[in-house]
């Protein structure tokens, strides 16, 4: 839910609800709940709330972004495999036009060829791949410090 404070969106796509269980040798042992908590802790230092959402369904993610995107300070998104083929999600990100960092826990470029193509690249601000859970934290710091800077500049 959006709140009176500024808020950052944290969206995770298909199968990321399985973090901590799924392929720990690739994705580590941290759960999604722990990631959300870490991002919340960073945002709290900036007095920004976090509105988080995970879904295995592209359309539900689009519904969420259309509802909460307007007015958000920024978006951290790990689209999961939608990164490789999610053209409706791509169009949605272009439409809502938020400062957005795409995060991949694993280095997708070192993995199977189908993971090398990232369809959201041209509609996100930046991408962080292969840094594990730190990717979410770095994305939060970057989006929030930029947001604060923009607020001061007016």
Binding to ligand DQA, residues 99-128 (CB under 6 A): 104-106, 108, 115
- Using the contact rule CB under 6 A, the part of the chain among 52-60, 67-75, 80-88, 141-149 near ligand DQA is 80-88
Close Cβ partners of 101 (under 8 Å, ≥ 6 residues apart): 74, 75, 76, 77, 124, 125, 126, 127, 128, 139, 142, 143
Closest separation in Å from C-beta 57 to ligand DQA: 14
Spatial separation of the C-alpha atoms in residues 148 and 85, rounded to whole Å: 33
Locate tokens 């957005």: which residue?
Answer: 100
Spatial separation of the C-alpha atoms in residues 120 and 86, rounded to whole Å: 8
Closest separation in Å from C-beta 86 to ligand DQA: 11
Total Cβ atoms within 10 A of residue 120 = 21
- Which residue numbers are catalytic? 27, 104
Number of residues that bind ligand DQA (CB under 6 A): 10
CA dihedral of residues 141, 138, 125, 128 (deg, nearest 10): 180
- Using the contact rule CB under 6 A, the part of the chain among 43-51, 60-68, 75-83, 90-98 near ligand DQA is 75-83
Burial class of residue 132 in the structure, from the number of CB atoms within 10 Å of its CB (0-12 exposed, 13-18 middle, 19+ buried): middle
By beta-carbon proximity to ligand DQA, the closer residue of 26 and 41 is 26
Closest separation in Å from C-beta 42 to ligand DQA: 19
Closest separation in Å from C-beta 93 to ligand DQA: 15
By beta-carbon proximity to ligand DQA, the closer residue of 27 and 147 is 27
Binding site for ligand DQA (CB under 6 A): 15, 78, 80-81, 83, 104-106, 108, 115
């Amino acid at each position: 839910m959006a709140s009176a404070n500024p808020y950052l969106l944290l969206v995770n796509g298909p199968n990321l609800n399985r973090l901590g269980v799924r392929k720990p040798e690739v994705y580590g042992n941290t759960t999604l709940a722990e990631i959300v908590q870490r991002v919340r802790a960073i945002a709290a230092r900036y007095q920004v709330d976090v509105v988080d959402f995970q879904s295995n369904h592209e359309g539900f993610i689009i519904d969420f972004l259309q509802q909460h995107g307007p007015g958000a300070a920024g978006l951290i998104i790990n689209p999961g495999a939608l990164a490789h083929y999610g053209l409706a999600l791509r169009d949605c990100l272009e439409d809502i036009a938020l400062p957005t960092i795409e995060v991949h826990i694993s280095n997708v470029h070192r993995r199977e060829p189908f993971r090398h193509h990232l369809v959201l690249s041209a509609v996100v601000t930046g991408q962080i791949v292969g840094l594990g859970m730190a990717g979410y934290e770095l994305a939060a710091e970057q989006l929030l410090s930029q947001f604060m800077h923009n607020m001061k500049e007016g």
